[in-house]
Amino acid sequence: MANEKIIELKGVERHYVQGPRKLTILNGAEFSLRRGEMVALVAPSGAGKSTLLHTAGLLEKPDAGDVILAGRACGRLSDDARTSIRRNDIGFVYQFHHLLPEFSAIENVMLPQLVKGLAPAEARARAGQLLEYMQIGKRGQHRPSELSGGEQQRVAIARAVANAPLVLLADEPTGNLDPVTASYVFDALFALVRQSGLAALIATHNHELAGRMDRRVTLADGKVVPL
């Protein structure tokens, strides 16, 4: 269903203790993403973007509230259970590609599928299809050091969606790229979201790219608010 809520944050709080001080980063944050929706998270450094992404992606447990993924309450699950959900249902893309340098592009995209238990032939076939979709199929046998910055980031996106997740969370995915390359990478990501029905939350400082998404939100006083 196109209007289906894939992920919801309900009253999420996140605090950190620094010496005698308690820093409140998220304070009753409410947010939802629907299938096929692409939302820009635009906020200054230190506002809590990474904390929001890490909590939504089940890398951090909320101190209060919950994260609902496809109707399932996930915020309080065990580390093992959250790891399993991340492996199958959540894709991550960061500002730096974090590709494994000793493996080729296609092998980097195969790895999460092999961890999930797919047969090598099936994983290789899907990895090749994803690289073709990202328009870098001819670069599949090259190692990351032999790829341009834009190519590396497109491989990272392909790897993030290799297991057909429900949600894609991206933290400044074009932050290290020049404007032309950033636009090209974003176009590929945008097409992928529309084609696959992913729900995508993308933190960015690039207001031009943010303006091309379905909607924009920011963080104010620990809450998610529309822009």
Among residues of the chain, what percentage have pLDDT more than 70?
99
**Structure confidence at residue 225 (pLDDT):** 93
Q: Which residues contact 180 (CB under 8 A, 6 or more apart)?
A: none
At 109-151, the pLDDT tens digits run: 999 999 889 999 999 999 999 998 888 889 999 999 999 888 9
Q: Which residue has the higher pLDDT, 17 or 215?
A: 215
Q: Most confidently modeled of 44-53, 77-86, 101-110?
A: 101-110
Rg (CA), the chain: 17
Q: Are 62 and 37 in contact (CB under 8 A)?
A: no
Q: How confident is the model at residue 72 (pLDDT cuts 50, 70, 90)?
A: very high
**Structure confidence at residue 168 (pLDDT):** 92
Q: Most confidently modeled of 94-98, 123-127, 156-160?
A: 123-127
Among residues of the chain, what percentage have pLDDT more than 90?
52
Q: Which domains does the chain have, with CATH numbers?
A: 37-61+78-226 (3.40.50.300)
How confident is the prediction for the chain on average, in pLDDT?
89
**Structure confidence at residue 144 (pLDDT):** 94
Mean pLDDT of 76-100: 87
Neighbours of 79 (CB within 10 A): 9
Checking if the pLDDT of 182 tops 70, the result is: yes
Nearest by Cα to 85 from 197, 196, 165: 165
**Structure confidence at residue 2 (pLDDT):** 56
Nearest by Cα to 154 from 109, 90, 197, 118: 109
**Structure confidence at residue 103 (pLDDT):** 95
